[in-house]
Every structure is written in structure tokens, then in C-alpha cells.
Structure 1
Amino acid sequence: MRRALSIASWIAFAGMAGCTTYHPQPIAPAELARQFGQRSLASEELHAYMARETGRDVTPWPPAAWNREMLTLAAFYYSPALDLARAQWSTAKAGIDVADAIPNPVLQLPFQYNTPNPGPGAPFTWGPSIDIPIETAHKRGYRVEQATHLSEAARLNIINAAWTVRAQVRAAMLAVYAARDRMAFLSARADAERQIAVMSRHRLAVGQYSQPDVDAAVLADTQAQSDLAAARSAELDARAQLAAAIGVPVAVLDDVTLDLAAFGTVPPAPPAADAQRAAIFHRADLLASLADYAAAESALQLEVAKQYPDIHLGSGYTYDTGTNKIGFGLAGITLPIFDQNQGGIKQAEAKRREAAVRTGALQDTILGDLAHALARYQSSIKALQLSDAHLASARRQLESQAVGFASGNADRLTFAQAKADYQTSETARLDAEVAVQQAAGALEDAMQQPLGHEAVSDTLSEEIPR
């Protein structure tokens, strides 16, 4: 009996020798807040990440000005949404190892006391035995295939999350661009309206203006000052939005110069066929949905394979009241004589149909959004062209008023009013330009592919490691 127990103990010890130990990793909110407060766009870790992702060193460091590509990479480094997507992919990859694991044998240690004792030996029946399960019908292979497809879907979700982060950075930078230009135009308009209000009061004093004319000038002055204050507030809000998109404190952007020149260009609209092809073959969410469907296929194959029984091999040693017995044979076979796993098969078939419908619905939504985004972009370009023509006409009128003022054919009040009107046209043109850039962003999101040439697009085809 001691020998049998020692054999069992040795087997148990051998199985436990390779066990992983537990290491606690508590989360302290105060520490998380401290780490967030220490994030910077000048860190050497960020420098190394950007050099690795772009394939070139970023010199000088930190750069004198940050463009959209660089801030997008910084957001890829700091974004909590991408950290979550990476963690989910790690979990999905671990699922492959779980699916590929071979079922462990079961060590059995039966013990029985016999009375009356039927044999010449001790009145005990005991001894170790092992139940070795053997899966049939490629079940483990189907589990691995299912886990692999789910892992691919999780990897593609990183790309989808990265595109969302990129879109957030783009939208925030566009908001900063619009707010700053609007502040410049509204500041000039506010100066002109203030001059008009002052001159209107002077004319009222000498009897050349009526009180309603002065009230209208003062109201226009007050509205211009209010619009300027709103633009300043919008610029602060846009900076906060940009900091949140990157994943850094707002104060980090205080000493950062933003390169917003990319928003001054308008790429041409792609042909509808090219845009549709890009959306179908580049959308990470659609590719992830296809991976989910493939996982559902493997799950169905697994349920079909479960109709075939697994085999359990048993072997062991038994001391039976003085008799030593060594056994070999089948420990058991599950007989699928009742439902042949029809319930599991039907459920897996339903899930496969659901995955197929979900993928088709997603593609329909993508194509619908793409058609809308493309039409919106094309119409916004036409609206910008009309706004350019209107601004050119306003500029000619302002130049004419400037010539008239210089020659004495127009008074100062008329010239100031012309300048205020021109700044209104400048603001209207800015609104049209922002509308074009917003439409461009919507079209890029529909395709998940940048318009024109942009180096950051290359990083979206990878897993975007950190």
C-alpha cells in the first residue's frame, strides 16, 4: 500500500511541478492619476515608439511643431481605448492555448474495506488508476480554429479602435483650426464694429445720425465682441478635446505648437467605385465581422463532431485483499443514443445564421454611409467653390472702398463698414471650408482609408503594438 501511495504521490508532484504561481497586481486609483499627470509629448518612450512606427528618427525631439500624423501616433501610444483593444486581443490569443490544450488524465485512488474478508490478505481493496481521455472527430482542431478566428477578430478590433482614435484626433485638430481662424476673423470684425460704434456716436453728437442708427451700431459691436468671446471659448474646448483624444493632460498642449496646414488643402473626391472597393476591403469592422462568422462556422463543426463519442482509456494497479491486479482497457465511451447533440447543433446553426445576417447588415450600412459621405463631400466642395467666388467679390469691393477712402471719395465710416462686411464673408468662407474638412473626415471614416497621401495610414494595417 505504501508503494502505491508513493507512486500516486510522485504522479501528483510531477503534475504540480510546472504550475504557475499567482502574483497579485492591485490597482491604486491614486497611482493611475499620478501616471496620467506625468504623461508628456516629450517623453523618450514616446520618441522611441514614434521612431519605430515611422521607421525614421524624429529629430529634433520634441519636434518644433506637431502635425496630424505625429499627434495620431502619440494618441496610438497613450490612448486607453487602444490599450483596452490590445488587452482584449491578448485575452483572445490566450484562448487559442486553452482550446489547444490536451485533456488531462484523471488519477483515481479508490479505497475499500471488505468485511468479511474474502481473501488471505489484508481486508482492503485499493490502488491508483489513470483515466486517459482521447478526443475524436477533430474536436480539438475545431476548437482551435474557432479560437483563432476570434483572435483575428480581436486583432482587427485594434485597427478599428485605432481608426476611431485617428478620427477623434482629426476632428479635434480641425476644431482647433476652425476656432483659431474664426478668432482672427472675428477679432478684425470686432475692431471694425467698435470703430463704427464710436464714429456713430460722434455723428449723433453733431446731428448727422439718429439714435436708432447708433443703437444698431452698438448692437453690432456687442454681437461682434460676444462672437469673439465664443470663438475663444471654442478654441479652449477644442484643445481639451484634442488632449482627451491623445490621452494626455490639457496642460501638455500649452507649450506645443500645432501644425494645422493640412486643413488648408482639399483632396479631390475619389471615384465612387474606388471608394466602395476601399470600404469593402479596408474596413476593419467588416473584416472582424467576417472573422466572427468563420468562428461561428468552426463552432458548428465542433457541435457536429460532438455526435461522435470520446474514448477513455483506463489503466492501473489494484490490491484486492491479497491479490495484485494490473488493469488495461476502456474506462468508458459516451453513447450518443438520445439526441445526438441535436440541440447544440441547432443552436450553433442559429448563431451562424445570426453572424451571417450581422455581416450583411454591417456591409449594407457601410455602403449606405459611404454613398452619403461621398455625396456630402462632393456637394461641400461645390459650396466651398461658391464661397471662394463670393469672397473674391467681397475682396474686390473692399479694395474699391480702400481706394475710395484713400482718394477722399469715401468716408472713414463707410470704409470701416466695408471691412466689417468683408470679415463676415471671411467667416462664411471659413464655415464652408470647415464643412469640407468635416465631410472629408466622414468619407475617410466610411472607407477607413485616408484621402490623398498620409504616412499614418500605414500604421493602421498593423496590430499597432505599444
Structure 2
Amino acid sequence: MYQPQPIQQQQNIDAIQQAAPGQDGFRQFVQAQYPQIPWPIQSWDIDSLTLSALYFHPALKVAKSDYAVALAGITAAGLRPMVGLNGQLAHSNRANGDINPWSYGLQVDIPVITANKRQINIDIAQYQADIAKIQISETAWALRQQLSLDLIQLAEQQALQSNLAKLQKSQADLLNAYQKRLDLGVAGQSDVLPIRLQHDQSAWQLQQLTLQIRQTEQKIMHDAGLTGQNNQTLPVAPMNVSQLLKARFDQPQAYQDAQTIQHQALTNRMDIQRGLAQYAKAESQLRLDMAKRYPDLSLNPGILYEYGDKIWSLGIGSMLNLLNKSSDLWAHAEQVRQNEAARFYALQHQVIQLSEQAYLKYHNAANLLVTMTGEYEQQSRRKQQLENQWRNGLIDKTEYLQTEIQFYAAQQRLVTQQATVLRALQDIENVMQKPLLLSQQTIPFAIQTQEAPAK
């Protein structure tokens, strides 16, 4: 019997707030999906964070629920039509003589589906299930992609924070040196004011960056499917950006040219697979509508006991289409198929453009990084030379401090450009939908994924 199941709002809130990475269910999920990850997880990287998102994030739960609905649709599409049963009872007033006054009748209606329509309906439902299954993988990939961008942003912010702390110290030392000159009358206010403004600006930037780091750490936790109600900030594994870029530059086979990126994208992307499934579904719908020109039949065997006589009968029923042309039955389905073909063409066009744009963005960013790395190394050598001269008493400390400030400014630009190259590589990874940057591991996150059970 039907049982109502109202939504338990408070129960949902409690389940969301109590989700924590220390749960036994999550431990079992990690050990089953990715046994290489040590437990308990002390340092979170892209792989462990992705597993957390696959287990806790509600977006994947919705996608899996859509898939369950689609699977149920396959069963529903395969159900056979129900058999009808008709009874008849009549009574006579005996006006025509001495006959039995009662009449009893029983008739069975047996539907007969023609032109393989039932199997075509099953095929349509199966394609819909395939689409829903692909959307699970698309959702999981989107979660991983967002976490990758979060980690890159956090690494950039942490590197800039360290740089700004050193830069502010150098600016404070330079400000003190000029303040002493001002006190001695050797320098004027016009010499001290720009240095003070730069120092205050760096202090403000450092404060803002500290707040941004906290926000990014919280965003990583949220994108991993957790909340801050009962969880501390996840200890994210430090990322060595220079080493990571060097490893990717040494192995450029996966993204060395636009053609490679394009080929991988056109054959590997999940939206390409989904587009093909949608087109196949449209073709099956066209087959179904074309099959409808053959009307279904209804067999009606029956038996009648009529006023003393026993009568059996067999009827055949059908619907005739005499008012419309046959082509009118599938005209709409044909347009839908053409529409899906146009959509798939547009999708391929978009993927090709994205692959070209991603490669060009990466190529330009990488070339600029090489140039900026050379400038940074040159500035580093100059800083070392002036430091040696200052320690040997050959130059004034203020001259060295100004060079040191220039060095930290060059370091800031290098950190920012390194993050730009990482994001460009991440764009290539997203276009190809193939792990390249932060991890070479491929986590099976399609149908095998699970979510935290509702309490």
C-alpha cells in the first residue's frame, strides 16, 4: 500500500552537520576505492579530497538518484499491457415466449503490440539510463575539477603570503633606515613617504591574503562535501609548484600540441558520449513513431450464455488512421533527431575551439613563465651580489634593501605566473577530461561511488 514519506527537514540538517571524514562508512569507502591512501588521512591531496566529495557531496547523490529513476524507467518500459476482463449480466421479461430469463457473458481483451514497439520503448529507456549514468561521471569530474582549482588557488595564496611577509620586513627595515636619516636631517619627508606608503600597502595586502586563505580552506572543505559545524579545516598537503611544473614540462606528451588535446577531447569527454546517447535515443524515438503506423491489435475472445443458448465469440479490434498521412506520425520525431544532430555538431565545434584556446593559453603562459623565471634568476643573482657587497661594507644598507624589495616583487610576479600556468594546464585537463596535473591516478567515480547514508 501507499506509504507517505514526508521530508524530515531537521533530520537532513543533522545528517549534513554531522558528516565528518572520520566516519567508518567513509573509511570503508576509501579503502575499497583507493587502498593506497593511508588511514587515517593526515594530509589531504586531490585524490583524498575527491573521495570525500564522492562520498559526502549532495550533487552526486542527486545524479545517482536520477540514474536510479532512469533504471526504473527501463523496467516500466518493458511492462506488457494489461489484459482486460468484461462481464455481462441481463434479464428478460419473457415477452417472446418461455425462455430462460437470464443471460451471462464473459469477454477477455488481449492487447497485441505490433511492430516491436515494446522493445523500442525499452531501448529508449536504456538510452535515458545511459545518459543519466554519464551525468554521474560528469558530476564527479566537476567536483574534482573544482577541488583542483581550489588547491591551486590555495598554493598561490600561501606562496604570496610568505613572500609578502618577507617583503614587509624588508620595507620595514628600509623605512627605519630612512627614518634615521630623516632624524639626522640627511633625508626629507619626500624620501620617507613613498616607502611608508608601500609598507602600509603591503601590510594591508598581507591581512587581506590571510583572510582569503581562510576562505579558500573553508571552500575546499565545502567542495569536499563537508561543513564547518563539526569539522576543523582539513590539513591540505603542501604543493611544490616549481617541482610540479618541472615534472609536467618534462612529460609534455599528453598536451604537446593542439591536435593531441583535440583528439583526446573528442574521444574522451563525457559530454561527447552523452551527446551520442541523446542522438541514439532520438533515433529510437523516431523508430517508435514510425512503427506506430502499424496499429496495435486487441483480441477479444468471449463466451455468452444467452437465455438458454451457449455462444462463443472472437473479436479483433484496432485503430485506423484515415485522417492523417503516415509521415505526419513521425514528423516531430524526425525534427528532434535533426535537432540532436545539430546539437552534437555544435558540441564538437565547441570542443575543438576549447582545445585550441586551452593550448594557446597554456603555450603563451608557459613562454611568459620562462621569461619571468630568467628575470627572477637574474634578480636573485643581483640580490646576492649586493648582499655580499653590503656585508663587506662596500655599499650602503639602503641600496641593498631596495634591491631586496625588487627581488621580492619579482618573486611575486613569478608566483602569480606559475599559478597562471597551473590553471592553464588545468584547463587542458578539463578540456580533455583526463587527469594530468595534480595526480596521475584515475579514481573510479562513476557508478561505484557512494554517498553518506541518511540517518
> Considering the TM-score relative to the shorter chain, is it more than 0.5?
yes
Q: Distance in 1 between matches of 2:334 and 2:159?
A: 57
Task: State how far apart, in whole Å, the 2-side matches of 1:260 and 1:124 are.
Answer: 92
- Residues 306 and 341, structure 1, Cα contact 8 Å, conserved in 2: no
SS of 2:302's equivalent in the other structure is strand
Shift of 1:420: 2.0
Which residue is equivalent to 1:10?
A: none
Tell me, in whole angstroms, the C-alpha distance in 1 between the residues paired with 2:356 and 2:88: 71
* 2:357 pairs with 1:372: yes
- Residues 178-327 of structure 1 aligned to structure 2 (within 5 Å): 178-250=156-228, 254=232, 256-261=234-239, 263-264=241-242, 265-266=244-245, 267=248, 268=252, 269-327=255-313
What do the CA deviations read for 1:322-360 (whole angstroms, capped 9, x no partner)?
Answer: 444343x23412223332553330000000000100011
Distance across 2 between alignment mates of 1:112 and 1:270: 87
Q: The residue matched to 1:109 in structure 2 has which SS?
A: strand
Instruction: Please state if 1:413 is matched with 2:398.
Output: yes
- Tell me if structure 2 keeps the 8 A contact 1:131–1:331: no
After TM superposition, the score normalised by the length of structure 1 is: 0.89
Q: Partners in 1 of 2:440 and 2:31 — Cα distance?
A: 13
Residue of structure 2 equivalent to 1:13: none
Alignment correspondent of 2:449: 465
Deviation of the 1:415 alpha carbon = 2.7
Distance in 2 of aligned mates of 1:58 and 1:30: 34
Q: CA RMSD in A?
A: 2.1
Change beyond 3 A, Cα 1:159–1:121: farther
SS of the aligned residue for 2:235 comes to coil
1:133-144 correspondence runs (5 A): 133-144=111-122
Percent identity over the alignment is 23
Check whether the contact 1:123–1:321 (CA below 8 A) recurs between aligned residues. Answer: yes
Take 1:132 and 1:67, find their aligned partners in 2: how far apart are those partners? 62
- From 323, 339, 348, give the equivalent of 1:354: 339
Contact kept in structure 2, 1:311 and 1:330, CA below 8 Å: no
Structure 1 residues 103 and 209, CA gap change in structure 2 (3 angstroms): same
Which residue of structure 1 aligns with residue 108 of structure 2?
A: 130
In the aligned structure 1, how far is the partner of 2:335 from the partner of 2:99? 61
Q: How far off is 1:254 after superposition?
A: 3.1
Checking the alignment, whether the CA contact within 8 Å between 2:17 and 2:230 is kept in structure 1 is no
Cα distance per residue 1:286-342 (max 9 Å; x no partner) = 111110100000000011111012111112333433444343x23412223332553
- 1:426 maps onto 2:411 in alignment: yes
C-alpha separation between the residues in 1 aligned to 2:298 and 2:448?
Answer: 45
Q: 1:47 corresponds to which residue?
A: 27
Structure 1: runs of 5 or more not aligned: 1-20
* Aligned residue type for 1:167: Q
Tell me: CA distance 1:379–1:117, structure 2 relative to 1, closer, same or farther (3 Å).
farther
In the alignment, residue 45 of structure 1 is paired with which amino acid? G
Contact between 1:374 and 1:443, CA under 8 Å: does it hold in 2? yes
Residue aligned with 1:221, SS: helix
Q: In the aligned structure 1, how far is the partner of 2:324 from the partner of 2:62?
A: 41
Q: For 1:240 and 1:381, locate their aligned partners in 2 and report how far apart those are by CA, in whole Å.
A: 30
Unaligned runs of 5+ in 2: 451-455
Q: Normalised by the size of structure 2, how large is the TM-score?
A: 0.91
Deviations 1:88-129 (A, max 9, x none): 111111111111111111122344455566575664544332
Separation (CA, whole Å) in 2 of partners of 1:165 and 1:217: 45
1:32 paired residue number: 12
Helix, strand or coil for the counterpart of 2:444?
helix
Q: In structure 2, what is the equivalent of residue 9 of structure 1?
A: none
Letter in 2 for 1:181: A
Greater shift after overlay, 433-442 or 102-111?
102-111
Tell me whether 449-458 or 305-314 shows the greater mean CA deviation: 449-458
Pick the aligned partner of 1:439 from 424, 430, 442: 424
Change (3 A) 1:195 1:250: farther
Q: 1:410 to 1:43 in 2, by over 3 A?
A: farther
Q: Which of 59, 66, 71 is the matching residue for 1:81?
A: 59
Q: 2:367 matched to 1:389?
A: no
1:119–1:173 distance in 2 versus 1, CA, 3 Å: farther
For residues 113 and 382 of structure 2, the distance between their equivalents in structure 1, rounded to whole angstroms, comes to 86
Number of residues paired by the alignment?
Answer: 442
User: What is the one-letter code of the residue matched to 1:431?
Assistant: T
**1:37: how far off?**
1.0
DSSP 3-state at the match of 2:6: coil
Distance 1:104 1:259, change over 3 A: same
Q: CA deviation at 1:270?
A: 2.9
Report deviation, 1:57. Answer: 5.5
**Higher RCO (CA 8 Å, separation ≥ 6 residues):** 2
Please show how residues 49-68 of structure 1 align to structure 2 within 5 Å: 49-54=29-34, 56=35, 58-59=37-38, 61-68=39-46
Q: 1:165 aligns with which of 125, 128, 143?
A: 143
Say which is worse superposed, 178-187 or 266-275, in terms of deviation.
266-275
Q: State the AA in 2 paired with 1:333.
A: S
Match of 1:151 among 120, 125, 129: 129
Cα deviation for residue 198 of structure 1 reads: 2.6
- Quick one: distance in 1 between partners of 2:133 and 2:153? 31
The letter of the residue matching 1:270 is Q
- Structure 1 residue 53, shift from structure 2 partner: 1.6
Per-residue CA deviations over 1:10-53 (Å, capped at 9, x if unaligned) read xxxxxxxxxxx333332222221211111112222111112222
- Give the conservation status (yes or no) of the 8 Å contact 1:146–1:299: yes
Matched residue of 1:313: which SS? strand
